[in-house]
Structures are given as C-alpha cells and as structure tokens.
Structure 1
Amino acid sequence: MATDVRIQPLSDRVVVKPAEREAQTKGGIFLPDTASKERSMEGRILAVGAGRLDDSGKRVPMQVRVGETVLFAKYGGTEYRVDDVEYLILSEKDILGIIQE
C-alpha cells in the first residue's frame, strides 16, 4: 500500500488517484470551467485489495498492480477526500483498461 493512502481496499477494490483535467487541449483551445471540472476517467493505482473470492472460496488474483495508470468507468467508484486530495475506490470490474506508457 502506498504511504500517502490511509485506506486499504478490500476484496477486488482499488484506490485510484484521478489524473488532473487539462484546462487547455493539445491544439491550444482553452476549455471552460464546466468541462475542466468534470471528473477524469484516468488515474494511477495507489493500493489494491487481495482479490475476490470465487464460488469455491479460492482467491482470484487482481489483474492490476500499484503504480499502473488505468482508464475507468466515468461514473464508477466512490469518491473520498483526505487533506484536500481526491481519491476513488473502484471495483476491479469498473477498470476498463491499463494505459501503456
């Protein structure tokens, strides 16, 4: 678990720090406040749970790891704040993919 996160996710949950939204596009267009305040769908994984249990009671390992950048469902997860830093707790099924860097 990362040292700046004060919560350990359970089961198939992950803690994600959403990426900051850009105020300007790569082409130089400035985005209005309403667009830039919309929640990002990309973030870095800070902590992962142990994995879910299947029907036979065996632990299914997580497919994601701490430090990976992921794309997640727009309205997935639960937001929480610690010292003015926003975090998300997501179920592994809300993660759409791993962004290759």
Structure 2
Amino acid sequence: METTENLIIIGDRVLIKPKTESNQTKSGLYLPPGVKEKEEIQSGYVVKTGPGYAVSYDEMDEPWKMKEEKAKYIPLQVREGDLAIFLLKMAYEIVYQEEKYYIVPQSGILMLERDENILDEFLS
C-alpha cells in the first residue's frame, strides 16, 4: 500500500480507503465493474483523520489583538483503522499515488466498526 504520511487532512474530514469487494452478489450473479461504486452507501477503512472541529476564541470582539496561538479542536469520534460506512454523495473521490481514496466529513459517516487490530490486517 502506498504511504499517506505527507497528506494533512483538514478540520473534521476523514481520508477513507474504499473496501475492496467482489463484484459477485450473494446469489452468485457477477456485476459489471463500477456498479458497486455507484451505490449511495459505501464502506472503507479510515486511513487518516483531521484534527477535529475548531473551537472559537473567547476574545472575538477584538480579533486583531489575538496573539499567535494554536487553534483548539474538539477531536473526532472516528479513529484510524475504523471501518466506516458513509454516504457517497457527501464524499469526494481522489486518486493519490495511483490509489483511490474518499475524503468524507465526519457528518457523512453513518456508522463505524472498530477493531483495534483491523488496521494492521488492512495494511498487510
């Protein structure tokens, strides 16, 4: 798998590597390539997450007086390695180093499956 170390995810967004699934249905019917990708709901593994939701400053009445402070964030519920079920219409598809990924805001994720060892299995 290609490395994503150089990517910085912004805000409440999540980088998801789509789960590779067979084009065969449960009944044994083979679907043409791309049919599964057009479904409204997709699944994939969370590869990277953004820092979270930015918290507003208390002294916004005089923003020009703000010192060089680091922003504070409310962390995301999503963690790297989670299996995410997400809405495709809220996702942006990108290709990075010849690998397909989705960038999804946390609000576009419907459900997570968390297994502490799932990322190790996915990366191997």
- So what's the TM-score if we normalise by structure 1? 0.80
Q: Structure 1 100/28 Cα, relative in aligned 2: closer, same or farther at 3 Å?
A: farther
Which residue of 1 is the match for residue 76 of structure 2? 62
Percent of aligned positions that are identical: 26
Q: Take 1:88 and 1:14, find their aligned partners in 2: how far apart are those partners? A: 8
Query: 1:68-93, CA deviations, whole angstroms, 9 ceiling, x for partnerless residues?
Result: 00100021121111222101111111
DSSP 3-state at the match of 1:93: helix
Amino acid at match of 2:101: Y
Superposition RMSD in Å = 2.3
Question: Runs of 5+ in structure 2 lacking a partner?
Answer: 59-71, 116-124
Please state which structure has a larger fraction of its residues in helix: 2
Q: Please report how far the alpha carbon of residue 37 of structure 1 lies from its aligned counterpart in structure 2 after TM superposition.
A: 4.8
Is the 1:70–1:99 Cα contact (8 Å) retained in structure 2?
Answer: yes
- In the alignment, does 2:15 pair up with 1:15? yes
Pick the aligned partner of 2:86 from 63, 68, 72.
Answer: 72
Higher Rg of the two aligned structures: 2
Is the 1:21–1:37 Cα contact (8 Å) retained in structure 2?
Answer: no
Q: Take 1:41 and 1:59, find their aligned partners in 2: how far apart are those partners? A: 28
What pairs up with 1:1-101 in 2 under 5 angstroms? Answer: 4-5=3-4, 6-38=6-38, 41-55=42-56, 59-99=73-113
Question: Runs of 5+ in structure 1 lacking a partner?
Answer: none
Q: Please report how far the alpha carbon of residue 100 of structure 1 lies from its aligned counterpart in structure 2 after TM superposition.
A: 5.4
Is the 2:81–2:114 Cα contact (8 Å) retained in structure 1?
Answer: no
- So what's the TM-score if we normalise by structure 2? 0.67
Q: Take 1:54 and 1:86, find their aligned partners in 2: how far apart are those partners? A: 31
Is the 1:22–1:36 Cα contact (8 Å) retained in structure 2?
Answer: no
